[in-house]
Amino acid sequence: MRCALFLLAALAAVQTAFAQSPEFIASQVTSSDYSNHLSSLPVQQGKSRGFYDADPVHGYSAQPDLLTARSNIINTFSSILGPTNVSEQAVNLDQFPGQNIIGVLHGTDPTAGIYVVGAHYDAITGGFVNQPVSPGADDNASGVAGVMTAANILSRYHFKATIYFVAFDLEESRFGNSPHWHTRGSYVYAQQAQAAGMNIRGMISLDMIAAHRNSTETNVDVSDAIAGSGGMGVEVADALDRVGSALGTGLTAQRFGAQDVSDHIEFKAVGYKACMVAEANEGENPYYHSNNDYLGNTENGHPYIDSIYASKIVAGAVDYLATAAVVVPEPTQVVLMAGVSTNGLFTLAFQGDAGRAYEIDASTNLANWDFVTNLLSGDGNFQFTDGQSKLLSQRFFRVLAR
């Protein structure tokens, strides 16, 4: 009788569990990570991330700084989520050729729905021929940096629901005949999502989150798309308050009423729950939509753009997403047991996590692995019997936790 060799703990994708509460995940957000993402966008004095408007040379096209931002966002999403999980979506309303950038963190349960966190990466452009206006550091590179930071943190974990990270284009272009002239990118995204039947259960728009105009400000504005928008604002405000208490950020969410000035409104328009998160009293920012909205500017004796303040807001958004999408704990360490029965059949058994799926693969050379079966157990006791073992001189097995 040929006896199968077996591989025990090696190559089994199981790890010791550690704290993975939404608050723990939110605590991984750092101001340095946020600052690096913000700096990767053209937000310095004199930059312009807008569109040419009927320019004699360029027509209706993206300005060079907007193209640089687009490229950097794609590269960042690709490095965090993997290139195959990043796509571009054409936005063609009126004459402007926009481009949404979409990154996806796939969930483990297709029935758990989808959550979206997004921000627009274009900045305001002037109303005259070839007139750049604003570097848009706060409006809204600050929100885009928040989306990239959230992707970086959340990608370290697994969730039941799928999370989309979206950089919207053409939120700021104020020209053309479309009734959606100020939210073109999100309009196209939301319309296509609805048409595709995407089960979006919540959307957060991060729009102007870094101008800490009062160095002692502790408020964060949370606005529903319109009155009665399904409680989304309440849920996100609760997450911001949880983080404020658990992590000592000192931030408190204040409901800012119904707002229709950001990308969340297009999601609400097609029936999705949505809200906007912004710095306190964002409408009173004297620098937004101007040349003064740049990284490195100061106001009232302190930095105009405050990465520490912004990262605390991002932590609240991360807490909401980790709570709503439902974090899947990392698998606990399992003990593998194996043996050959009297009839020559090989049996692999182990104690794992109840309700978690495990994949069994087999190999004869430890180089090429073939899928054998998936195992699922309600009580965490797993057993697999392999009839092929007695036909081979050696057969290795590995267990992958899903």
Render pLDDT for 225-270 as a digit per residue (tens, 0 to 9). Answer: 444 445 788 889 999 999 998 888 888 888 766 677 799 999 999 9
* pTM of this prediction exceeds 0.95: no
DSSP E strand stretches across 75-171 = 86-93, 96-105, 114-120, 158-159, 162-168
Q: What is the pLDDT of residue 5?
A: 43
For residue 374, what are the contacts with CB-CB under 8 A and spacing of at least 6? 357, 358, 359, 360, 402
Give yes or no for residue 71 having a pLDDT over 50: yes
Run of H or E including 278 = strand 274-279
- Read off the tokens for 29: 């957000």
Which three-class secondary structure state does DSSP give residue 136?
coil
Of 313 and 218, the structure prediction assigns the larger pLDDT to 313
- Whether 19 shows a pLDDT value over 60: the answer reads no
Give the whole-number percent of the chain exceeding pLDDT 90: 48
Q: What is the pLDDT of residue 257?
A: 64
pLDDT at 258: 65
- Averaged pLDDT, 390-400: 80
- Say how far apart CA 209 and CA 281 lie, in whole Å: 10
Cβ proximity of 259 and 226 under 8 Å: no
Lowest mean pLDDT among 31-40, 129-138, 244-253, 364-373: 129-138
User: Considering the chain, what is the average pLDDT of its residues?
Assistant: 85
Which of 62-66, 68-72, 95-99 is least confident? 95-99
| Token digits of residue 398 | 């590995």
pLDDT tens readout for residues 124-165: 886 554 555 789 999 999 999 999 999 999 998 889 999 999
Between 263 and 366, whose confidence is greater? 263
pLDDT of residue 342: 61
On the question of pLDDT at 101 being above 90, the answer is yes
Given this model, what pLDDT does residue 256 score?
65
Q: Is the pLDDT of residue 181 over 90?
A: no
Q: Yes or no: say if 37 and 148 are a contact pair by the CB < 8 Å rule.
A: yes
Does residue 187 contact residue 93 with C-beta atoms inside 8 Å?
A: yes
- 22-328 belongs to which CATH class? alpha beta
Cβ atoms of 127 and 173 closer than 8 Å:
no
pLDDT of 205 reads: 96
How much of the chain, in percent, has pLDDT values that exceed 70? 87
pLDDT at 202 over 80: yes
Kind and range of the H or E run holding 184:
helix 184-195
Distance CA 266, CA 321 (A): 20
pLDDT for 356 = 72
- pLDDT grade for 17, boundaries at 50, 70 and 90: very low
pLDDT value at position 249?
85
Categorize the per-residue pLDDT at 341 as very low, low, confident or very high, splitting at 50, 70 and 90: low
Task: Provide the pLDDT for residue 146.
Answer: 98
Residues 237 and 152: beta-carbon distance below 8 Å: no
pLDDT bin (cut points 50, 70, 90) of residue 328 is confident
On the question of pLDDT at 172 being above 80, the answer is: yes
User: pLDDT-derived band of residue 349, with 50, 70 and 90 as boundaries?
Assistant: confident
Whether the per-residue pLDDT at 176 is higher than 70: the answer is no
Check whether 1 has a pLDDT greater than 60.
no
